[in-house]
Amino acid sequence: MLNQIFAIASKELKVISRDRGTVVGLFLLPIAFILVMTTALQGAFGTGGSNNPVKMLVVNQDQGSIASQVITDLRSASGLQLVEQQNGQALTRESAEALITSRTYSIALVFPPDFSAQIMLAATQPDAAKATVTFVSDPAVGSELLLPVRGMVEGYIERASATAQAPQRMLEGFGQMAAQAPASQAPAILAIGSAFTTQFVTPQDVSSGNTGVDYAVVAPAKYQSVKTPSSAEQNVPGYTVYGVFFIMQTIATSLFREKNEGTFRRLQAAPLSQAALLTGKLLPYYLVNLFQIAIMFTVGVLVFHMSLGSDPLALVLISLATAAAATGLGLLLAGLTRTQEQAASLGSLLAVVLSAIGGSMVPVWVMPQFMQTLSKLTPHSWALNGFQDVIVRGLGVSAILPSIGVLLAFAAGFWAIAIWRFRFE
């Protein structure tokens, strides 16, 4: 009996080992998922550390010295790397915003011209207006990056403000004492106050009161976003792109199934060119992709009350281009594989890996630099950027034309290679 059991088990192991689809599904797909996701998420758990500092643009418009002191302190802060110049020139508000809109950087810190003046004025006038320090941030970047950076910066600013205000506040206190003392004692009190503040006063010797500083978080002026995007507005586009490109596996396996059943051979008997035949086969899947996008965004709107941006035409155009790239990739998969099992296993592998690299599962901004560069080689990244431009950044048609162009180029390339490699027999 044991021999029979072992014989059957041995036979099943041979069957499994010869089934490439099963091998890929059981071993290669989990291994690829572990490698890609672990590498991509290194930034999520290490961002802000000494090995992976957050890069922040700094614009110093302050006409005093306090902002310079804050910047000096921030340079030595662990987990933060300041970028203060571009091409040898000090950054301006406009140049910093241009670097953010080009997605070279994600955050800029802007000190206003009256930063030092308002801090010193607040030392003696608690009701004085405050200088506004501005954080300019790409709205597509989550609060996971912005909040720790903002907390660190505000801490250094509060300390520098208190340090600058402490002598002035102490002198103000001695001045009030002198005003209430006999006239003969007033000069001595003022002299003691001057010497005391020069030699002994630290920021901890006085209460913080009005530091003269307020804070604001804004998007670059080019973006039309007027509010912080919700979780749905950040996540729904990513998972929509993942779902749309997953159709590649369905397309490829469907073509192989029709070949195996003989249906495809009968279609070839029709008076159609090969390109027309494949177009007719892919058109239903293209329409399914568009329906997918519509359904997923509808769920986002109805369930999570997400915004779809201010330009419906832009949303339609990026959806059309994304669906074209996805169906083209499905045809390419059918052209590069030889069996239905290969198409199914490789399709699952590509769907997961490309989605992860392209930012659908992990935000690109948390990835290591080499993976951020690698993501640009996937259609997923361009599709996601296009959707985020419309939904999160509030942009219109002209802004997403580059993403549309790249997606159509991907689609054309996929089609060209697929037709060249496709086996019509």
Tens-of-pLDDT digits for all 425 residues of the chain? 666 556 655 655 565 566 555 555 555 655 655 665 566 555 554 444 556 688 899 999 999 899 999 999 999 888 888 999 888 899 999 999 999 988 888 899 999 999 999 988 887 777 788 889 999 998 887 677 788 888 889 989 988 888 777 666 555 555 555 556 566 655 655 455 555 555 444 554 444 556 788 999 888 988 876 566 777 887 889 889 988 998 888 888 887 887 776 666 666 556 667 677 777 788 888 999 999 999 999 998 998 888 888 899 999 999 999 999 999 999 898 888 887 777 787 888 888 888 888 888 877 777 777 888 888 999 999 999 999 999 988 889 999 999 999 999 999 999 889 888 876 66
Phi, psi torsion values for 53, nearest 5 degrees: -70, 150
| Rounded-to-integer distance, Cα 32 and Cα 43, Å | 18
| Rounded-to-integer distance, Cα 354 and Cα 361, Å | 10
Q: Residue 1 contacts by C-beta under 8 Å, 6 or more apart in sequence?
A: none
pLDDT at 380: 94
CATH number of 53-218: 3.40.1710
pLDDT at 350: 85
| Rounded-to-integer distance, Cα 219 and Cα 227, Å | 9
DSSP string, 168-219: HHHHHHHHHHHHHS-TTTHHHHHHHHHHHHHHT--GGGS-----SEEEEEE-
Q: Which residues of 320-336 are buried (b: 16+ CB within 10 A; e: fewer)?
A: bbbbbbbbbbbbbbbbe
Q: Residue 278 contacts by C-beta under 8 Å, 6 or more apart in sequence?
A: 331, 418, 419, 422
- Measuring CA to CA, which residue among 156, 133, 146, 131 is closest to residue 54? 146
pLDDT at 318: 97
DSSP state of 162: H
Domain residue limits, the chain: 19-42+228-421, 53-218
pLDDT at 199: 47
pLDDT at 39: 60
**CB-based contacts of 148-151 (< 8 A; 24+ apart in sequence):** 148/48, 148/54, 149/48, 149/54, 149/56, 149/80, 149/107, 150/215, 150/217
Q: Residue 349 contacts by C-beta under 8 Å, 6 or more apart in sequence?
A: 24, 28, 29, 32
DSSP state of 223: S
pLDDT at 141: 79
